[in-house]
Amino acid sequence: MRRLCLFAFGLTLVVVVLGAYTRLTDAGLGCPDWPGCYGFNYVPGSAQDHATAALRFPDNPLEVAKARNEMVHRYAAGTLGCTILLMALWSLRASLRAYRGFAWGLLALVCGQATLGMLTVTLNLLPFVVMGHLLGGFTILALLFLLLCKTRPPRETYRGRGLAGWFLLALGALLLQIALGGWTAANYAAMACLELPVCQGDWPSQWQWSAFHPHGVPAASYQYGVLSQDERVTIHAAHRLWAMVTACVLLMLAWRLWQQPVLRTWGAVLALGVVMQLALGGANVVLHLPLAVAVAHNAGAAILLLVLTGTGERLWRARANPVRVHGFVAAMNQN
């Protein structure tokens, strides 16, 4: 089970990065149908394939590069789905009963994620669906990492007074920031502000709460965005402002973790991840959203979520084994 979970986790990380790459290369509609591509189960590339695609979808000209990006993402996601199905079936063994609910819950999430992937195409990149698809991928990634942590041999840890509260606050702040990042990407608002640290000068006067309406503006297609400039500025500014709040909360948690010797590594990695993520966000603005930096920024958010997931697992494992933990703390104090 651990080997299957490790493979699924690595593949999920690849799928998340491929999803960001697909979105940032405007390939979300590289294939106008689902699950195939212009009616093929492979990337159409020959002259005959082009002619057939033009007959099937005359209003959607085939662009091979975008179709390739979309199909590679689908192939990887399909392989991940099969892997998690295998995990669920493997968990039916009597010796793996403890992981059965977790594995089948993951399978249900993957089925929901596949549905969102289909709706992303059939609803022409409706922003609310695109953001939900991104959050679904991050959720599966975090849960697989949590399962990996649960399948490793027990390790001593220490919850530390007040750490649970800071952890929950940090997790909530990060999840909201990831959602804002997904909303920014889904509405093509990443380049709505081109200055640092402010945004378009007098941006508060341009604030539009309509920018956060879940249904958005009715349109035949949402590719390249349909919101007004003021609404995109609002989304971008909200993402920046909450990034500052999230960074402060995460750095405070990192400091509290650093004060506990057995959690010091988690604190250091968390602090480094926050600094790197802020630097990547600033580079996206200054360098006008280069593809490599934008993909790295998406991966950085995933890494921060994984660090919090691992931290939370150690905190709650200690809470579930207070006798052993208190003994460990007593031994540390004696030393």
Cβ–Cβ < 8 Å for 59, 256: no
Which residues are 37's β-sheet partners? 40
- pLDDT surpassing 60 at residue 333: no
Residue 74 burial class via C-beta count within 10 angstroms: exposed 0-12, middle 13-18, buried 19 and up:
buried
Which residues form the catalytic set? 70
Q: What is the pLDDT of residue 323?
A: 44
> DSSP letter at 154?
P
Per residue in 36-54, pLDDT (tens digit) is: 999 999 998 889 999 999 9
Q: pLDDT-based confidence at 331, cuts 50/70/90? A: very low
d(CA 37, CA 69): 11
Q: Which is higher by pLDDT, 215 or 307?
A: 307
Here the tokens at position 46 are 């020959």
Per residue in 226-269, pLDDT (tens digit) is: 999 999 999 999 999 999 999 999 999 999 999 888 889 999 99
Q: Which residues contact 164 (CB under 8 A, 6 or more apart)?
A: 315, 316, 319
d(CA 119, CA 220): 14
Here the tokens at position 72 are 């590679």
> DSSP letter at 284?
H
Q: Which residues contact 235 (CB under 8 A, 6 or more apart)?
A: 180, 183, 184, 187, 189, 192, 211, 212, 227
Q: What is the pLDDT of residue 332?
A: 37
Give kind and range of the element (H or E) at residue 69: helix 64-90
Cβ–Cβ < 8 Å for 233, 193: yes
Q: Which residue has the tokens 């192939």?
A: 75
Query: At how many degrees (to 10) do helices 229-258 and 163-186 cross?
Result: 160
Q: How many CA atoms lie within 13 A of 314 on its CB side?
A: 21
Per residue in 65-110, pLDDT (tens digit) is: 999 999 999 999 999 999 999 999 998 987 888 888 889 999 999 9
Q: Which residues contact 155 (CB under 8 A, 6 or more apart)?
A: 314
Per residue in 209-222, pLDDT (tens digit) is: 888 987 666 778 89
Here the tokens at position 217 are 């503006």
